Chains A and B, each alone.
Chain A
Amino acid sequence: MIQIYNVFKSYQKDSAALEGISVKIPKGDFVYITGPSGAGKSTLLKLLYGAEKPNRGQILVNGQNITRMRSARIPILRRCLGIVFQDFKLLTRRTVFENVSFPLEIQGRKRYEISKKVYQALKTVGLEHKLNRRPLELSGGEQQRVAIARALVVEPLVLIADEPTGNLDPQVTLEIMELFKGANARGSTVLIATHDREMIRRFPRRVISLDGGRLVGDRTPETFSVPRG
């Protein structure tokens, strides 16, 4: 599903955010990207959805080389991705329903289809009773769930989440993780950037570790879950 070959990215001269990253993520995988703050996790995700361009290297998503893609094709790429942003990026003046329907509207779907899917997505995250609220009237955990519903509503090939449990309490984290597992079970490839060790411990999956822009580890669940000592 995702192939990354020897990718370099630097925002400024002589300070690289990513140095020589190569990773393959097969279809249906569930992957954590971890590492300390500033390791380059967010940057890697941004490269995947075309918000940044790499200085060197190739990136293939769903068989398409996005580093060579004309910028007019980028929107088409994004339509098969579901992205949960670190700062949610919900529209504060729109209702929950309008926020979640946004990606479908943009794809020009029929109204009745939009209503049905949005309701379904909100039900999945347990917010169908709050569809007329506005994001700022919701708790942090609820806002996160709206953001996830917006990512899920397009039934994405790849679900990308940047620090999805950043400021949430453990109980809410648990609920959120269930949502990602559900999406993965329905066929989405899931990519989560996090520095939350606790989360990785409770839901062991493949872990790709970055540090200072370099790949420093890539462990599959079997080796990871083996108790040490």
Chain B
Amino acid sequence: MPDSADLEPRVREILDAHSGVEGALLPILHAVQDAFGYVPEEALPLIAADQTLSKAEAYGVLTFYHDFRTRPAGRHVLKLCRAEACKAMGADRLHTQIRTKLGIDWHGTTADGRITLEPVFCLGLCANGPSAMIDGRVVGRLDTAKFDAIVGGLE
């Protein structure tokens, strides 16, 4: 949880950087999430006022998009592609194994706060599935051995 004393100046900085941008709400929400790891509830009234929206409208936008989180994620975010081309390469079976290994389901975070697991629908690596992304880094032809090697090295 960011200190609310730190929060406001940082959010204001982001809002200033986007002044004059047409349709700035998504870029602002991305920037806030990049800064804090999620979009803190306290940031929303500031953003809404800046964009001349009601808080409910800003909240409606925030919750429409799968990417934005309203709570912090684990230290690492693992996204596994659930879409068709990866399914054709056995993604479903692999995902069951991975969920069992991590002891969590989709959108869950491991008890030690290390990994949050998210589904994703296509990473554009569809000729090299099953595909994944770990903290923004792409991984192709994922299998349990590769998973163990990648996840084993994470703090």
Pair from one complex:
no
